[in-house]
Structure 1
């Protein structure tokens, strides 16, 4: 619980520091011979998701900012390991960066037998974007109110499938911790992406699912899904009538875990380049398209700088890794 509080406090401090981080970017851009050629943003996930859209907004912003092409290259597969391997082995010169998420940064070391890079050793943080308060939704056929009790009551009497976006994902952690908390036996069903997961929930193939608000929105609007809980202590501003896990009696610290998407550079990338990229990400928050993006996905804030990202890695990373380890997953 104290860890979560510290994260919230440092975010308030980071918000004040962000303005100061903007000042050096002009100096860096004028004195560095960077970028002098196209920059690759290697994205470990498919087009259209939160990670990809963050990368594309950043590419657009930096292309305008520097007058050089910043190009998004989607290299999907193996939980972002393929993309991570490409960037980890690339030259640390600021021309190849990775856009990925917290699963790839922390959980993959538990989920997979062999990961060809060490995230802590091979990458340096540039910027992160909180994935927001991911809603737990239930199918419209589940009786009861728009609360966690409806799912728990149903699961005690019926076979219940719980859709996740992959082994070791936050949804997987939440499913198993809810089972432990309420003495139920929901079965996690793992998908390779949000679209098929929400499609199955909408049609009633599964009874519950959890991922981004934007991914769930069509199913909610169509009346096929009902949001019943969100993680973290405060409610989602897009779903103000939906209670948190915590206020509905699910108080285990793992139900307060947060996920994020991020940009990292190969270790050894010149510090002024990393600073320029980090400050540019924060500067991007003032753009109308970025503000629209943050609102659309129900996020509480925009891109955060490298110092805030480093704090997330230090404080939240070990909890995410330990939570997956406790699932006793057989490494793939």
Structure 2
């Protein structure tokens, strides 16, 4: 007769094997319920547009429902914090970006989440350059060279959509590299910026330029320069900052991230799904609009890109002695 302890060991081993089998089956079936994609902005903006586009395509690729939840506030930081508090099962994802995963972390050392520790970096999605724009009625600032010359003499002003945001820190890089005197005027949104820019109350606006293309093509705004490494094909007459003598190459990027601890098979499945989704003509039409471009980095390469971006923001914050106002 076999000892009781032998039966107990066999029972435990069988139970463990069953649980492992169930877990494996559950991972293989992922996703078998709706997946939430948290976006840190209100509906209608560029980030929301990019997020909804990838959610729609991932739903098609994976045969599942992807539900967008807009958790606006604090430059996208609220959405990032909520995702890190979610179960790491692949059913709550985040549209991460240069704001909530890089610039905010650089200027706010007491953030409630840590980069990269609290995140799994799945895939980069899209990048869009920053642009320096002025009112088309501004006769003194017709070119980037006009801007540089005046900013080295008289102090100009520039608007951004918030203190400590990615755009403000990148513009501080521009000031540092170019030796420019440009006073920062923070606003709570692009609407008030447009009113004051057109009214001559602020000299310039530094922001991702793609949402402003309507006003640029209509002749209301003048785009002086972009922050990409090369000229934008659809805007061949607009120089880059780098070729204008200011060695700053930065973009606002968006990517798909998950909470720390998300199972690797789920991460791999999402990564492959994003790769397939980025071949969709409908998605590429959205992502390539007005000079933005789809991402090409995934997994460790995307993580390394984020860490390099974060280091650039930290360097600018330290050199400019920037603080939250």
Higher strand fraction (1 or 2): 2
Aligned mates of 1:228, 1:140 — CA distance in 2: 10
TM-score by length of 2: 0.83
The Cα offsets for residues 142-195 of structure 1, whole Å up to 9 and x where unpaired, read as: 325742112234445655321113223343234334444454421112234444
Aligned pairs (5 A) from 1:1-332:
32-112=28-108, 114-144=110-140, 146-155=142-151, 160-251=156-247, 255-302=248-295, 304-331=297-324
Alpha-carbon distance, 1:56 to partner: 0.7
The Cα offsets for residues 6-29 of structure 1, whole Å up to 9 and x where unpaired, read as: xxxxxxxxxxxxxxxxxxxxxx99
- Any idea what SS the aligned residue of 1:133 has? strand
The Cα offsets for residues 259-298 of structure 1, whole Å up to 9 and x where unpaired, read as: 3112210011011111111221121122222121122141
Alpha-carbon distance, 1:113 to partner: 5.7
Q: 2:127 touches 2:295 (CA, 8 Å); kept in 1?
A: no
Shift of the 214–231 alpha-carbon distance from structure 1 to 2, 3 Å rule, reads: closer
**Mean Cα deviation higher: 94-103 or 320-329:** 320-329
- Any idea what SS the aligned residue of 1:81 has? helix
Shift of the 248–66 alpha-carbon distance from structure 1 to 2, 3 Å rule, reads: closer
Aligned mates of 2:81, 2:139 — CA distance in 1: 46
Aligned mates of 1:170, 1:107 — CA distance in 2: 5
Q: 1:110 touches 1:325 (CA, 8 Å); kept in 2?
A: no
Shift of the 312–83 alpha-carbon distance from structure 1 to 2, 3 Å rule, reads: same
Shift of the 159–142 alpha-carbon distance from structure 1 to 2, 3 Å rule, reads: farther
Alpha-carbon distance, 1:102 to partner: 1.1
**Mean Cα deviation higher: 172-181 or 238-247:** 172-181
Shift of the 325–48 alpha-carbon distance from structure 1 to 2, 3 Å rule, reads: farther
Q: 1:107 touches 1:168 (CA, 8 Å); kept in 2?
A: yes
Shift of the 205–131 alpha-carbon distance from structure 1 to 2, 3 Å rule, reads: farther
Alpha-carbon distance, 1:107 to partner: 2.0
Aligned mates of 1:174, 1:305 — CA distance in 2: 24
The Cα offsets for residues 104-136 of structure 1, whole Å up to 9 and x where unpaired, read as: 112222433631111211111012134322221
- Any idea what SS the aligned residue of 1:309 has? helix
Aligned mates of 1:199, 1:304 — CA distance in 2: 38
Q: In the comparison of the two structures, how many residue pairs are matched? A: 302
Larger of the two Rg values belongs to structure: 2
TM-score by length of 1: 0.82
Segments of structure 2 that go 5 or more residues without pairing to the other structure are: 1-23
- Any idea what SS the aligned residue of 2:111 has? coil
